[in-house]
Structure 1
Amino acid sequence: MSGFKKNGMVALPGPLVKTCPQCQKALQIITHFQAKNVACPACNRVLEVRSASLEVVKFQNKGKHEPLLPIGQKGKLKDIPYTVVGFLVNKEKNFKYYWREYMLFNAVHGYAFLSEYDGHWNYFTLISDFARSTSSINDPCHYMGREFRLFHKYGTEVVFAQGEFFWKIYEDKSRQIEYISPPYMLARSISAEEQTWMLGEYLEPEEIQQAFALEAEMPQQYDVGSIEPFSQDFSIKKVGKMAGIAAAIVCVLQVLFFSFHQNKVLLEEQYSLPSDSYIQPLPPVSSSVVEVTSTLGGGSSLEMELYAPVNNSWLSAGVSLMNTQTGKEYYIEIGVEYYSGTSEGENWSEGSPRTSEILSAIPAGKYQVLIQPFRESGTYGSNTPTWFSLTIRNDVPIWSNFLVCLLFLGAIPLVQGIRAYSFERSRWMSSDYSPYAQE
């Protein structure tokens, strides 16, 4: 919410002192005769500033409205020193939406405004270098190379005021129109006399707290602010770029690792099996000793490739590698199956007579290879596999880790995109002009 009106001229140095006609309290007016209204903190009267005196125009009920930034508080925003000269509690006409505005003043730069709604803070300054190129209020605006989309239209009512103001706050009938391009907003104020534009920027509560040296706890934030950015440190564009760079590095490393892999055959043998398929269990097979060599990473990856002439049957083998020096054993079970036939006049098949598995991080050393074969019992005739072959390769490239890494890197911007989409939907839920309304 903005609800900002006009911008005044630069005030003279030193406060102007006038007396409240209701309670006789001396009031210091920092902005001098730019002030049109002054709210007396002692009697809660809103006073109109005349050339020689003050005149009561309205009594207001203070209620529980207490400014977080006290009138007279000094601070520094965007390298500009400000003094808090006014505080307003506004209400949207016809709806029970309340927000708070703080009017800031600098003798050189003039006025600026802070708006706080549901714990979200927006900093507004007058702009004079913007000219709207389209006549329709609903059309987007373009400023600073950004597109600003219509977010809200509303009228305001003042509920409570403290400090001094350069317009007659209870007589203002202007209408506010907001266009957003997070973290910025263009706020347009239209009255019978004039039209003004303000540029708003989202500020984190910690920035306000630090700028004005506040010790009080900041208001709790609810929902998504109208121009709250999704993430300034991890935007979708930045995350996507980082993920792309990381994926490129992973690809280069994979190519380098692939080029240095030995991919050496340690064992390539064929083993015979009994032709009688009812012989169970099959006798174990002891193969030769193989030597696993070390790699850059220390351990080595071993690929076990099994082939058997299975036909409507299966065969598996438990392969054990026992280190001849340490006695430590590494075990893997690998199997093949192949089935085919005809169903409703169409041929079908599934499985394969060849498969491979990988053992990773096997320490260098000499290993005795022990194989325990298994096959389907009772298969008929030529369906019984009577032999199988086993090939062991040392230091083979592992593509699964590479692919998993790429999938993970691709998932990061995807997840961030889903989060950003949800964030934007939540932002526009409070707008009558949501681009998500038709979804």
Structure 2
Amino acid sequence: MHYTCPLCKTENKIDASFHPVEYVCKSCSNLIDVSKNTSTKVVKKPIENVVLEIGQQGVIDGTAYRVTGIIIRKYGSSIFWREYYLKDDKGNSAFLSESDGHWVFLHLINEMDVKRKQNGKVAELHGVNYRWYETTQCTIHAAAGFFEDRLNFGIATYKEWVNATQMISQEQSGDSLEYFFGRHISKYTIKKAFNIPNLPNYTGIGIVQPYYFNIKQLINIFCVVALLICLLQVYVYTTRSNYPVFEQSIRFEEVKNKEMVSKSFTLSGGSAPMKVKVFSGVDNSWANVQLSLVNEKTNEIVYTSKDIEEYHGVEGGESWSEGSTTEEFNLCGVSSGTYHFLISAERQETIDTTVPASTYTSPDGTVTIKRENTGLINVINNNTFESVLFGDLKTLEGDQTGTGNMVKKAFEGKNLDSLLNINAEPLPAVAEPVTSSNYVDIKATWLPVSFWNFGIILVLMIVFFIGCYWGRHLFNVAKWKNSSNSPYPQS
């Protein structure tokens, strides 16, 4: 259909299956009465956040619609929302309403289908109750396109009832009274339907905006997940055998600077922690155990190292102690399979300060030097039978007293260290006594299936659900914040 503006002669056309009563010239913005082909007034062009154009096509719920009209309504001095008039190929009407980035898709309904209850505070449609949200008075601020009813630029009254993501809207403009059924439609659906690159961002919460989660679906999902977890836990528990898998006492000398490969052992059932207990009778010393668990099928290695330390003493008349001769740790999540250990260990070495005793007398017989088993150097004046102890030969050689000078004179030109070693007789070798400090005891046990992770998951699910439920309450409070008929207490 083509309509030529009687004022600016601009051609206005629309491919639609209805006959408009009025249209707004796209060039001069005059509102033209089609029957009289005259202008009734000049209207503002809709430009505030308008994203659709007259004649633009889009598909919603499988039905192709064409935009035939755009109206911007104004409430108060600064609140605007946009209404897009749509027509399908059969001439059926639909409407898109957008406010603060929130979209509602509406259709005309029969006034007789809406039942008013509780003095208008509740509206019933097809057995569903809708709560009165607000009554708003507004005017047409701007308009564009083609309209099959005359536009009323007077004050229009909107009354809205809401139930979750659906609503009933009553529009009274002059003598005209119309009812609309609307539902939330996401901006991404609009973007895809009309191939729009950009849409207004959300501001606040829309009147029929859905909560971020569907609580009923969330309950169903959580119940199914919890049931699956329970069944899995029962399966793992019933297919597990819990037993010690390795136990051995190992001499430190056997694994010093090398690794020992243990016997293989097989684990069957679900994954579970492996507890390792190590013991060594350390006494004011330390030991270290390095343990690697090797999966013989995958060659995966879990490495760990543990220190065993125990110290004690007396200080200020009070006994003290720290550390322990036993340490325990867990290898988490060990699954079924065949394994062995690689073991190495070391301990604090005991320093043997004893050296073979040796004695040497000077050629003139005046001085005797004796190296004690403790390593101390004893200088004896054979004339006076006086003796002086030195910590070592180096200290003696650096001594500037009479004793030091006497030794230098008596052994002039001789190497004292060589003399003492030559004359020394080695001490007989003594085998190290067998004590608990010479060994490290290692015991590994595959623990029972832990219910800790199972319980943690269920608790987290419950906490998440409670958080979502409480969040939905806060969401609804915020949604009804701008309503004077909120079912929630307003602070």
Bin the TM-score by the shorter chain.
Answer: 0.5 to 0.7
Residue 73 of structure 1 is matched in structure 2 by: 56
Matched, 1:424 2:476: yes
Residue 396 of structure 1 is matched in structure 2 by: 448
Alignment of 1:18-97 (within 5 A): 18-28=3-13, 35-50=20-35, 53-62=36-45, 64-65=47-48, 67-92=50-75, 94-97=76-79
Q: Compared with structure 1, are the counterparts of its residues 211 and 425 closer, same or farther at alpha carbon in structure 2 (3 Å cutoff)?
A: same
C-alpha distance in structure 2 between counterparts of 1:324 and 1:58, whole Å:
89
Q: Compared with structure 1, are the counterparts of its residues 361 and 167 closer, same or farther at alpha carbon in structure 2 (3 Å cutoff)?
A: closer
C-alpha distance in structure 2 between counterparts of 1:257 and 1:250, whole Å:
10
Q: Counterpart amino acid of 1:242?
A: I
C-alpha distance in structure 1 between counterparts of 2:446 and 2:7, whole Å:
96
Structure 1 residues 57-107: Cα deviation after superposition (integer angstroms, max 9, x where no partner): 222343845842221222222222222111111101x35210111111235
Alignment of 1:212-361 (within 5 A): 212-214=194-196, 216-231=197-212, 234-264=213-243, 293-297=266-270, 301-302=274-275, 331=306, 360-361=332-333
Q: Counterpart amino acid of 2:210?
A: P
C-alpha distance in structure 2 between counterparts of 1:301 and 1:40, whole Å:
82
Q: Compared with structure 1, are the counterparts of its residues 133 and 224 closer, same or farther at alpha carbon in structure 2 (3 Å cutoff)?
A: closer
How far 1:134 sits from its partner (Å)?
1.7
Q: Does the 8 Å CA contact 2:139/2:156 hold for their aligned counterparts? A: no
Q: Does the 8 Å CA contact 2:65/2:88 hold for their aligned counterparts? A: yes
Look up the SS of the partner of 1:176 in the other structure: strand
C-alpha distance in structure 2 between counterparts of 1:198 and 1:434, whole Å:
22
Which range moves more in the overlay, 75-84 or 392-401? 392-401
Q: Compared with structure 1, are the counterparts of its residues 37 and 177 closer, same or farther at alpha carbon in structure 2 (3 Å cutoff)?
A: same
Q: Does the 8 Å CA contact 2:293/2:339 hold for their aligned counterparts? A: no
Structure 1 residues 16-37: Cα deviation after superposition (integer angstroms, max 9, x where no partner): x444333333444766885333
How far 1:45 sits from its partner (Å)?
1.5
Structure 1 residues 205-228: Cα deviation after superposition (integer angstroms, max 9, x where no partner): 2322332233x4222222222212
Unaligned regions of 5+ residues in structure 2, if any? 248-261, 278-286, 295-300, 309-327, 346-441
Residue 399 of structure 2 is matched in structure 1 by: none
Q: Counterpart amino acid of 2:20?
A: A
Q: Counterpart amino acid of 2:209?
A: E
Residue 169 of structure 2 is matched in structure 1 by: 187
Residue 112 of structure 1 is matched in structure 2 by: 94
Q: Does the 8 Å CA contact 2:46/2:143 hold for their aligned counterparts? A: no
Residue 405 of structure 1 is matched in structure 2 by: 457
Residue 436 of structure 1 is matched in structure 2 by: 488
Look up the SS of the partner of 1:247 in the other structure: helix
Which range moves more in the overlay, 221-230 or 188-197? 188-197
Q: Compared with structure 1, are the counterparts of its residues 323 and 194 closer, same or farther at alpha carbon in structure 2 (3 Å cutoff)?
A: closer
C-alpha distance in structure 2 between counterparts of 1:124 and 1:413, whole Å:
33
Higher-Rg member (1/2): 2
Q: Does the 8 Å CA contact 2:240/2:269 hold for their aligned counterparts? A: no
Q: Counterpart amino acid of 2:115?
A: R
Q: Compared with structure 1, are the counterparts of its residues 319 and 431 closer, same or farther at alpha carbon in structure 2 (3 Å cutoff)?
A: farther
Aligned-residue CA RMSD in angstroms? 4.3
How many residues were matched structurally? 353
Structure 1 residues 277-301: Cα deviation after superposition (integer angstroms, max 9, x where no partner): xxxxxxxxxxxx9996523356753
C-alpha distance in structure 2 between counterparts of 1:291 and 1:196, whole Å:
84
Q: Compared with structure 1, are the counterparts of its residues 147 and 392 closer, same or farther at alpha carbon in structure 2 (3 Å cutoff)?
A: farther
C-alpha distance in structure 1 between counterparts of 2:450 and 2:480, whole Å:
47
Which range moves more in the overlay, 198-207 or 163-172? 163-172
C-alpha distance in structure 2 between counterparts of 1:411 and 1:107, whole Å:
51
C-alpha distance in structure 2 between counterparts of 1:89 and 1:18, whole Å:
23
Residue 181 of structure 2 is matched in structure 1 by: 199
Q: Compared with structure 1, are the counterparts of its residues 54 and 330 closer, same or farther at alpha carbon in structure 2 (3 Å cutoff)?
A: same
Q: Does the 8 Å CA contact 1:40/1:163 hold for their aligned counterparts? A: yes
Fraction of identical pairs, as percent: 22
Residue 141 of structure 2 is matched in structure 1 by: 159
Q: Does the 8 Å CA contact 1:246/1:409 hold for their aligned counterparts? A: no
How far 1:184 sits from its partner (Å)?
1.9
Q: Compared with structure 1, are the counterparts of its residues 364 and 213 closer, same or farther at alpha carbon in structure 2 (3 Å cutoff)?
A: closer
